[in-house]
Amino acid sequence: MKVSNKSNQKYDPIRAAAVEAMILIEQGEQTDEAFLQVTKDMQLRPLDKRFMLQLINGATKMRRRLDHEIKFYLSRPSRELPIKLSNILRAGFYQLRFTDRIPNAAAVSESVNLAHYMTDRPRANLVNAVMRAAIREPAKVVFADRDKEPNKFLGDYYSFPDYFVKYALAEFGFDATEKLMQTFNSPPHVTYRVNFLKAKPDEVANLLQQHNIEFSYGRHLPEFIHIEQGGLPLQRELIDTGKVFVQDESAGLPVRLLNPRPKDNVLDIAAAPGGKSTYAAIRMRNRGRVTAIDKSRRRLKLIEENSNRLGIHIIAPVHADVEEFTGGKFDRVLMDPPCTGWGTAGKHSDLRWSKTIKDIESLSVIQGKMLRAAAKCVKPGGVLVYSTCTIIRQENDQVVEEFLLKHKDFEIDHSSQYYDESLTTERGFVKTYPALGHMDGAFCARLIRKNIP
């Protein structure tokens, strides 16, 4: 998307590109793709890139909160603003309310300049008036009573869609829901998974210490190292050399639950970009076979690239749909089907606006079909692990329980033999939540195919 310059007014191209990306995201584009589109012809300094991403992700996450606040300073708050104007105001209010290094005067002047550039003088004057009023009268903004209207309070204040607020309150209660939302709104950090084929955790830790990079080891998987700062530190030394792979610790849990061993014949379904496939291969000490199937040829190339960088040679990428796959029976099968991703809302700023309750319903049907197809690939006595990166019960427990009702040849293998009670449910499933540590929200279940004559 390109904007046309209607004025000779000076403007900040970094902020302009951020607003362009926000508009694309509101129109349905994913954040990463929107960022690439608006920056493809730009030469960005690292500092500019960080600021732009902060503005895009922050204003997108907090869209509902920002819109709520802006309306208190409009003469006609019920009137819908044009998309360019609304996103200029969102970006401006985000700088006023959620950044601490940008002076208020700079946030106002830059937003006004941007409005001159992207719209016209009357709208620029409106931006100026609204933002100055917001600085003068911050107390003018009010929120619903948290006790009387908890749904509206949480939705407006923490910026989440109504259906998710309703679900979370029913599932977790008010206090846990508020803590979950606070965590989702906090700046996300990355986790490095150490590649045992090329390095040891202590070696990576020592390098991080030498560069004064704070970190902590994974609580459940010690080869995962949580970086306590933004960005990708030591990318050349660690990521590019294949000594580490960027992966959340929660994404490693289902692989540990699968417990692949050297010489096993493993199937990974919906495998791209290969995070779980490569972790399985490393736990197998690069001995055996990992067949990684995916519907996307483009994404299968990512598995090849990641395998090559990590020094893995036992992964066989296969272009296939699990419902049509005829590759025989496997010792261990791992399936991570498409899901709403509601456990990763802290890292994907557009997710809370792009996913709907209809997506939950349609995806749960797809997940059930894929799980039934995956079951056909498991040998008698073999293991099937179902995992997602969502915290929605309909995509997790419900899918597995409905499967078990119709597949008496499978049973739950309780996860307590692999993880402590902080992760395991009474039923034997693994569940993680962002508010409980350095992990995304996730679910996984270990099923065994019975040896039935």
Q: Which residues are catalytic?
A: 389
Sequence-ordered list of residues with C-beta below 8 angstroms from that of 309, at least 6 positions apart, any chain = 240, 241, 242
Residue 142 has which token pair?
Answer: 């009010």
Closest CA to 390 of 334, 429, 340: 340
Query: How do 315-319 and 289-294 pair as beta strands?
Result: parallel
Q: How many CA atoms lie within 13 A of 66 on its CB side?
A: 21
Residue 2 has which token pair?
Answer: 């390109």
Residue 288 near residue 266 (C-beta atoms within 8 A): yes
Residue 214 near residue 194 (C-beta atoms within 8 A): no
Residue 278 has which token pair?
Answer: 């490569």
Nearest-angstrom CA–CA distance, 90 and 99: 13
Residue 429 near residue 359 (C-beta atoms within 8 A): no
Question: Residue 147: how many CB atoms within 10 A of its CB?
Answer: 8
CA distance readout (Å), 207 to 142, 198, 228, 322 = 48, 14, 15, 41
Task: Compute φ and ψ for 315, nearest 5 degrees.
Answer: -95, 130
Closest CA to 203 of 169, 244, 240, 167: 244
Q: Edge to edge, what strands does the sheet with 215-217 contain?
A: 215-217, 224-227, 191-194, 244-246
Nearest-angstrom CA–CA distance, 383 and 270: 17
Helix residue ranges per DSSP H, 356-396: 357-375
CA dihedral 280, 282, 286, 288 (to 10 degrees): -20
Residue 114 near residue 19 (C-beta atoms within 8 A): yes
Residue 428 has which token pair?
Answer: 């034997």
Give Rg (Cα) of the chain.
24
Query: Is the peptide bond between 254 and the residue preceding it cis, with omega within 30 degrees of 0?
Result: no
Residue 199 has which token pair?
Answer: 């390095």
For 160, the 3-state DSSP assignment is: coil
Query: How do 265-269 and 330-335 pair as beta strands?
Result: parallel
